[in-house]
């Protein structure tokens, strides 16, 4: 089987690509534009595997996507390429509209044409798996409610609105054109190779450098956290066994306030990296409350029981074990994040095409 992964140089996409090479005998074609969020260092370990092919390409180009589909003849598409950072979507929504909406539309059109050209047997096995977020559901004010696959969409930020739009397009291509699709909506991910603009890696690296740990508002916003390797295993299960036309929520039932997350990181660092930056006696002293983000959702929490019930998936990490692994990974992989912070990870991206 050959899986075409879009966004495979990003945080979650790279975990999916590594997992395919390390845990299966499938081939993988990684289609990634290499924006600031794309980092080939994250897939360096598997880059020389003969089952891995890299295509530096923009999903917004129909011509290029048609060529990529025709040349590589994939059996399954796993579509992760996106602009993914909420704060950036508030400062400048255009890239989000372009990649998340136009890009998904373009990929759907390329897939629809490709699918129409396939023989019967290959059509039977073909699947377009769209990877999305629980942020499409908006937020929850009832402290006990959970998002299910039936929850109505109510996105708050330009990011979540663009992802909601892409989810609708994918479902419409199934209902209108019969494209075999499956959609997953997942909670917040964290883990190794996470770009340091996101909450958990930002806090770890700021703390190590003795910088302030900025927490939005009062830090009481609740997120449901999932270790990225658990997300990758769920995605592969859905891509290979998910039922056409279905949606599956993915989550770890790990609800934490942002302040709890940051405090926990400080405690782990105190234990694992006790040589503190000068001027403080505990990493917690670096926590600083800053003005809240506009439209900030208060609570997300996801019900992943359908995926557990129907496909037998379960996360392997608790929040405590996953966060400890993550902090240890960042302590042991300074070279990876130093190259992100000084920008040198981007130098190799120019001139790269297929391997």
Contact 158, 83 (CB under 8 A): no
- Comparing every residue's Cβ against ligand NAD, the nearest one is 10
Residue 181 touches ligand NAD, criterion: CB under 6 A: no
* Minimal distance, residue 183 CB to ligand NAD, in Å: 11
Output the six-digit token pair for 285: 């002293």
Residue 13 touches ligand NAD, criterion: CB under 6 A: yes
- 345/39 Cα distance (integer angstroms): 6
What do you get for the CA distance between the two ends of the chain, in Å?
19
**Could you give the residue ranges of the DSSP H alpha helices within the chain?**
11-23, 62-72, 86-91, 94-96, 104-117, 120-125, 158-177, 199-208, 228-241, 258-272, 305-311, 319-332, 334-341
- 23/237 Cα distance (integer angstroms): 12
Residue 160 touches ligand NAD, criterion: CB under 6 A: no
* Minimal distance, residue 191 CB to ligand NAD, in Å: 10
CA angle 295, 299, 192 (to 5 degrees): 95
Contact 233, 298 (CB under 8 A): no
Fill in the per-residue mask, 111 to 130: x = in contact with ligand NAD (CB under 6 A), - = not in contact.
--------------------
Identify the residue among 105, 137, 195, 283 touching ligand NAD (CB under 6 A).
195
Residue 11 touches ligand NAD, criterion: CB under 6 A: yes
Among positions 33-62, residues that touch ligand NAD (CB under 6 A) are 33-35, 37-38, 58-60
Residue 99 touches ligand NAD, criterion: CB under 6 A: yes
* Minimal distance, residue 193 CB to ligand NAD, in Å: 9
Residue 252 touches ligand NAD, criterion: CB under 6 A: no
Fill in the per-residue mask, 130 to 159: x = in contact with ligand NAD (CB under 6 A), - = not in contact.
-xxx--------------------------
Output the six-digit token pair for 317: 């990490």
- Judged by DSSP in three states, 232 sits in helix
Identify the residue among 3, 4, 12, 21 touching ligand NAD (CB under 6 A).
12
Active site residue 159: yes
- 177/179 Cα distance (integer angstroms): 6
Alpha carbon of residue 297 to chain centroid = 19
The residue with tokens 């003849």 is 73
Identify the residue among 9, 21, 262, 301 touching ligand NAD (CB under 6 A).
9
3-state helix, strand, coil in the chain (%, to 5): 50, 15, 35
Site stretch for ligand NAD (CB under 6 A), options 183-191, 213-221, 273-281, 309-317:
183-191
- Kindly name the residue from 27, 83, 134, 255 that is annotated as catalytic: 134
Active site residue 310: no
- 156/158 Cα distance (integer angstroms): 7
Name which of 80 and 140 has its Cβ closer to ligand NAD. Answer: 80
Among positions 282-341, residues that touch ligand NAD (CB under 6 A) are none
Residue numbers of the site for ligand NAD (CB under 6 A)? 6-7, 9-13, 32-35, 37-38, 58-60, 80-84, 99, 103, 131-133, 163, 186, 188-189, 195
Catalytic residue ranges: 134-135, 159
């Amino acid at each position: 089987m050959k899986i075409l992964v879009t966004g495979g140089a990003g945080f979650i996409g790279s975990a999916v690509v590594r997992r395919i090479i390390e845990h299966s005998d499938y081939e993988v074609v990684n289609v990634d534009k290499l924006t600031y969020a794309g980092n080939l260092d994250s897939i360096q370990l598997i880059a020389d595997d003969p089952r891995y092919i890299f295509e530096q390409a923009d999903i917004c180009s129909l011509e290029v996507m048609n060529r990529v589909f025709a040349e590589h003849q994939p059996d399954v598409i796993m579509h992760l390429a996106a602009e993914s950072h909420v704060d950036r979507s508030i400062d400048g929504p255009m890239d989000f509209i372009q990649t998340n909406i136009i890009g998904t539309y373009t990929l759907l059109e390329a897939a629809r044409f490709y699918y129409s050209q396939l023989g019967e047997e290959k059509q039977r096995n073909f699947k377009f798996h769209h990877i999305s977020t629980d942020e499409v559901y908006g937020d929850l004010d009832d402290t006990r409610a959970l998002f299910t696959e039936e929850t109505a969409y109510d996105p708050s930020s330009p990011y979540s609105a663009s992802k909601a739009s892409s989810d609708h397009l994918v479902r419409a291509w199934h209902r209108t054109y019969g494209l075999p699709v499956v959609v997953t909506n997942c909670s917040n991910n964290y883990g190794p190779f996470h770009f340091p603009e996101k909450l958990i890696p930002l806090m770890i690296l700021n703390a190590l450098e003795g910088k302030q740990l900025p927490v939005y508002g009062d830090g009481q916003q609740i997120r449901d956290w999932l270790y990225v390797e658990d997300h990758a295993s769920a995605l592969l299960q859905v891509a290979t066994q998910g039922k056409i036309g279905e949606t599956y929520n993915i989550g770890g039932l790990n609800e934490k306030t942002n302040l709890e997350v940051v405090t926990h990181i400080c405690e782990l660092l105190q234990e694992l990296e006790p040589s503190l930056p000068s001027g403080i006696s505990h990493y917690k002293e670096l926590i600083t409350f800053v003005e809240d983000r506009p439209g900030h959702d208060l609570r997300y929490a996801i019900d992943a029981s359908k995926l557990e019930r129907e496909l037998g998936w379960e996360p392997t990490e608790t929040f405590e074990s996953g966060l400890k692994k993550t902090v240890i990974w960042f302590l042991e992989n300074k070279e990876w994040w130093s190259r992100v912070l000084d920008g040198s990870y981007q130098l190799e991206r120019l001139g790269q095409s297929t391997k």
